[in-house]
């Protein structure tokens, strides 16, 4: 028993030494239900989703080499069994997304850790629902904040708007709205040289200059931070 105890302890240490801490904070006036989707083969963190009350902060440890995305679900109602719906960002009607992704449009915070540095960004490629910011701490290198704090729902072109009860609750990407190669960067537009900014991506970029506005918006939107002891604050609103 002693051997197996120390063996498991060693495995835990190897997996989590240098672990990154994500601190999720709700700065919104209403509850947010963060969703978390890991990259392929990576563990699900905190069952993939939970409720975050206004002003509440939750800290989550991710093992070395983790990758995945975070987003905020809004206007959710769940029963005692964790089944329900969200107005935006829903993941199959579950409180814990359990590895599933959110229904666009949703503002994403994306991470690839220890590769060999941390890569991170705030992305509007899947559209926008609420403001999201990422603030790195404790790392070295550029480590700049990534953020989309403008209320894009107020500036969303009418053809991209998602409305509920007469109110704009999210803003679709042009790809989601029109599903054409030009807007989705596919087919003849499937490379950085052929897929250029459009009127719609410029609206997103003007509102949120450090966020991904379309699929090949790498130059100004993907950020890096040296992975040693770098932690991240993900703030909603």
From CA 203, how far away is CA 213, in angstroms rounded? 8
- Name the pLDDT band for 67 (thresholds 50, 70, 90): very high
pLDDT at residue 3 greater than cutoff 50 = no
Give pTM, 2 decimals.
Answer: 0.89
Q: What are phi and psi of 153, to 5 degrees?
A: -65, -30
From CA 170, how far away is CA 33, in angstroms rounded? 15
Share of the chain above pLDDT 90, in %: 81
Instruction: Look at residue 196 in the predicted model and tell me its pLDDT.
Output: 93
pLDDT at residue 9 greater than cutoff 60 = no
Q: Quick count: other Cβ atoms within 10 Å of Cβ 159?
A: 10
118: left (phi over 0), alpha (psi -120 to 50) or beta: beta
Fold annotation for 20-151+211-236: Thaumatin (2.60.110)
Instruction: Look at residue 31 in the predicted model and tell me its pLDDT.
Output: 98
Average pLDDT over the chain, rounded to an integer: 90
From CA 187, how far away is CA 176, in angstroms rounded? 16
E strands of 102-148, at which residues? Answer: 108-112, 118-123, 132-137, 146-148
Q: What is the mean pLDDT of residues 127-134?
A: 98
pLDDT at residue 10 greater than cutoff 50 = no
Instruction: Look at residue 30 in the predicted model and tell me its pLDDT.
Output: 96
pLDDT at residue 219 greater than cutoff 90 = no
pLDDT at residue 17 greater than cutoff 60 = no
3-class SS of residue 45:
coil
Q: What is the mean pLDDT of residues 125-140?
A: 91
Instruction: Look at residue 162 in the predicted model and tell me its pLDDT.
Output: 98
What letter would DSSP give residue 101? Answer: P
């Amino acid at each position: 028993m002693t051997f197996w105890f120390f063996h498991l302890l060693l495995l835990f240490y190897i997996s989590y030494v240098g672990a990154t801490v994500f601190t999720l904070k709700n700065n919104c006036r209403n509850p947010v239900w963060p969703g978390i989707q890991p990259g392929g083969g990576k563990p699900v963190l905190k069952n993939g989703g939970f409720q975050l009350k206004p002003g509440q902060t939750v800290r989550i440890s991710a093992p070395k080499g983790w990758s995945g995305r975070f987003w905020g679900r809004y206007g959710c109602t769940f029963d005692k069994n964790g089944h329900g719906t969200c107005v935006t960002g829903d993941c199959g009607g579950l409180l814990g997304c359990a590895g599933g992704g959110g229904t666009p449009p949703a503002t994403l915070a994306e991470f690839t850790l220890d590769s060999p540095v941390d890569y991170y960004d705030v992305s509007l490629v899947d559209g926008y629902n609420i403001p999201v910011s990422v603030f790195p701490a404790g790392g070295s290198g550029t480590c700049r904040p990534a953020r989309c704090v403008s209320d894009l729902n107020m500036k969303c072109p009418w053809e991209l708007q998602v409305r509920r009860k007469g109110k704009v609750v999210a803003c679709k990407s042009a790809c989601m709205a029109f599903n054409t190669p030009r807007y989705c960067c596919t087919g003849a537009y499937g490379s950085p040289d052929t897929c250029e900014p459009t009127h719609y991506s410029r609206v997103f970029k003007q509102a949120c200059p450090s966020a991904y506005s379309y699929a090949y918006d790498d130059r100004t939107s993907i950020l890096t931070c040296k992975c040693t002891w770098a932690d991240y604050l993900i703030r909603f609103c």
